Amino acid sequence: MAQIVLKHIEKSFGQESVVKDLNLTIEDGSFTVLVGPSGCGKSTTLRMIAGLEKQTGGEIWIGDRCVNQVEPGKRNVAMVFQNYALYPMMTVKENIEFGLVNRKVPKPERERLIKDITEIVGLTEYLHKKPQSLSGGQRQRVALARAMVKSPAVFLMDEPLSNLDAKLRNQMRTELIQLHKRLGATFVYVTHDQVEAMSMGDRIVIMDRGQVQQADSPMNIYEDPANRFTAQFIGSPPMNLLSSTDLTDLRLRGVRERMFVGFRPEKATFATEYREGELQIPARIVTRETLGAEIIYQLESKAGTFYVKTFLKPLESTAEVLVSVAYEDLYYFYENGQRSRSVELVEEPRLLAGGLV
């Protein structure tokens, strides 16, 4: 096991800066997920840790040594790729064994390692098959087994489940969580899928444009976002954001600029009358998406479009409703995207000026 520390990491391709002054500590034994939109620098960061990309500036520490000048094969890390990277002419056993042979591990030790690892990942009966005869999930297990036999301190995974169908992705997510608990190694996992990030990681690092937006536990990121980007990246639907200038009866103490007022869709309810201590917004239902017990409404108001997530009996589309959100469930963001934690309400807000759309 090993802690990973990135100090002032920079990465440029020509004139394009991909990673900018990145400082990050990945704790020993953690399951850390790097998540963000395409092009945010997460895969590049992973490849720099692996040594497959050379950083333009800064230091990378794995354990107690700086690995800036250490070649990939000597960093004590193993990488699992999106496309599995298996040798098609080799059997499952030969694919797993390949690295051990190159390291001149004695045959009896190789046999023991392969037996133990393939039992863990459920590949024992497939050892003599070739990759083309395996399913996507089985190929991913081969890639994992090949990494595991190296007994690395760090596992690096670059969107390893993106080629699998939804059902198999769910299954493999569970298996990876269990594998992490069993091995106790440091896992660094890259994905653009927020569901994977929230369900798998004990620590999530949200990146955008080569910079860390927030690094924290999944629930802290969801409940206490540091900025507007994080608030809207995590959550399905994402956090609603309405302009304070459109919420004309919402008075904010000491605020002289436009701000964005946010709330999670599940924190909003439908009201039939004025409720003290809550922001209330007249709106019209535009669409209704029924997902089993859960219903997601898209609504239109004078303050803009927003979403409500509820488990109540379905309401008709085009219905005019009154949406209510408790003051304590509101978030406030400046126009530059940073969150304000000091905003106070001046007085009791009333219905949104202008009435229904």
Q: Is the pLDDT of residue 148 over 60?
A: yes
Task: Tell how far CA 20 is from the center of its chain.
Answer: 20
Query: Tell me: the pLDDT tens digits for 177-228?
Result: 999 999 899 999 999 999 999 999 999 999 999 999 999 999 999 999 999 9
Q: pLDDT: is 160 or 225 the higher one?
A: 225
User: 84 with 142: CB under 8 angstroms?
Assistant: yes
Q: pLDDT tier at 347 (50, 70, 90 boundaries)?
A: low
Return the structure tokens found at 136.
């996507």
Q: Please return the burial class of 28, using the count of CB atoms within 10 Å of its CB with bins 0-12, 13-18 and 19+.
A: middle
- Count CB atoms within 10 A of the CB of residue 171: 13
- The pTM of the full predicted model, rounded to 2 decimals, is 0.89
Query: Tell me: the pLDDT tens digits for 54-77?
Result: 999 999 999 999 999 999 989 999
Q: Is the pLDDT of residue 335 over 90?
A: yes
Q: Is the pLDDT of residue 352 over 80?
A: no
DSSP state of 327: G
Q: What is the mean pLDDT of residues 127-155?
A: 91
Task: Tell how far CA 189 is from the center of its chain.
Answer: 9
User: 198 with 218: CB under 8 angstroms?
Assistant: yes
Above pLDDT 70, what percent of the chain? 96
Q: Is the pLDDT of residue 353 over 50?
A: no
Helix (DSSP H) and strand (DSSP E) numbers for the chain: 8, 19
Closest CA to 307 of 296, 315, 316: 296
Closest CA to 22 of 337, 14, 36: 36
Q: Is the pLDDT of residue 331 over 70?
A: yes
Q: What is the mean pLDDT of residues 159-183?
A: 88
Q: How far apart are CA 284 and CA 321, in angstroms?
A: 6
Residue-level pLDDT at 349: 52
Q: Provide CB contacts within 8 A for 34, sequence distance 6+.
A: 42, 45, 46, 188, 189, 190, 191, 205, 207
User: 142 with 80: CB under 8 angstroms?
Assistant: no
Task: Tell how far CA 357 is from the center of its chain.
Answer: 36
- Range in 193-202, 265-274, 314-323, 330-339 the model is least confident about: 314-323
Across all residues in the chain, what is the average pLDDT? Answer: 90
Q: How far apart are CA 225 and CA 248, in angstroms?
A: 25
Above pLDDT 90, what percent of the chain? 71
User: 42 with 190: CB under 8 angstroms?
Assistant: yes
User: 177 with 200: CB under 8 angstroms?
Assistant: yes
Query: What is the layout of strands, in order, in the sheet containing 154-158?
Result: 77-80, 154-158, 186-191, 31-35, 203-208, 211-216
Orientation of helix 136-148 relative to helix 92-102, angle to 10°? 20
Q: pLDDT tier at 248 (50, 70, 90 boundaries)?
A: low
Q: pLDDT: is 88 or 346 the higher one?
A: 88
User: 200 with 189: CB under 8 angstroms?
Assistant: yes
Buried b (16+ CB within 10 A) or exposed e, 116-137: ebbebbebeebbeebbeebeeb
Q: pLDDT tier at 107 (50, 70, 90 boundaries)?
A: very high
Q: How far apart are CA 75 and CA 26, in angstroms?
A: 16
What is the three-class DSSP state of 165? coil
Q: What is the mean pLDDT of residues 226-235?
A: 96
DSSP state of 238: P
Q: pLDDT: is 277 or 126 the higher one?
A: 126
Query: Tell me: the pLDDT tens digits for 6-27?
Result: 999 999 999 999 999 999 999 9
Q: How far apart are CA 145 and CA 97, in angstroms?
A: 9
Q: Is the pLDDT of residue 89 over 90?
A: yes
Q: How far apart are CA 331 and CA 81, in angstroms?
A: 38
Q: Residue 322 forms beta bridges with which residues?
A: 271, 282
Tokens 């488990």 -> residue: 311
Domains by residue range for the chain, with CATH? 4-231 (3.40.50.300), 237-340 (2.40.50.140)
Q: Is the pLDDT of residue 351 over 80?
A: no
For the chain, where are the alpha helices, taking DSSP H only? Answer: 42-50, 92-102, 107-121, 136-148, 166-183, 194-200, 218-223, 228-233
- Range in 105-109, 229-233, 249-253, 301-305 the model is least confident about: 249-253
Q: What is the mean pLDDT of residues 332-343?
A: 93
